Structure 1
Amino acid sequence: MFIATVIVSVLLAVALTFSAIGKLTKNPSVVPMLEQVGVPTDKIPWLAYAELAGAVGLLVGLYLWPIGVAAAVGVIAYFVGAVAAHVRVKDKEFAPAAGLAVFAVVALVLRVLSA
């Protein structure tokens, strides 16, 4: 079970890191979408920092399970908020956020089961 936890946690951490890099580098495919769902431009880096914190927490959580649980819960909340932001403005392009939310739920379940 722990091997599955490692795999899922590392993959999710990588996805979070790439997402954060897109925000921090103001990737032209990322910023307009965030502005469309109502994120002010000056707040975009804060979303990236939250993703990086989640990625670090998931990796540290492989050694200290309470950190991993807290990080997974935070990542779930982050992506549930992202889905809600898309739904609020009637944007139907929320599948990536929903998929990452589900992936974070899997990470949480695996982390709890392998504690």
Structure 2
Amino acid sequence: MFDNKGFTLIELIVVICILGILSTIVLPRMMDNVQTAKDTVADVNARTLANIIQIYNAEQTDQSKIFKSQIIKSETDKSKIPDEIKERIPKNFDWTNMSEVNVDEKGDVEIKTKLN
């Protein structure tokens, strides 16, 4: 007689098909969540930088020292930032994919976020 200790080929193929269908549904949603998380980190970093700039500007009694008229959106723009502000930026600050930080001629800060 036959010994039924294992799975049949049909059963294995059905399970593989079900797993394939589930993965095609789940993977795109997970990838969207990864991008949303990256955008959130970019916005948080921009807000952190904006807060540092706002605090710096609020502390300045000399109007000529106010940080103004700049757009900062990546590490290459870091050279525009005065050393007094750079000292306040955390060492582990992530500049990659940062949202845009605009500082107008009055020193007011605006953030253009990636999330809507």
In proportion to residue count, which structure has more helix? Answer: 1
Larger Rg: 2
Same fold by TM-score greater than 0.5: no
Q: TM-score, normalised by structure 2?
A: 0.31
Q: TM-score, normalised by structure 1?
A: 0.32
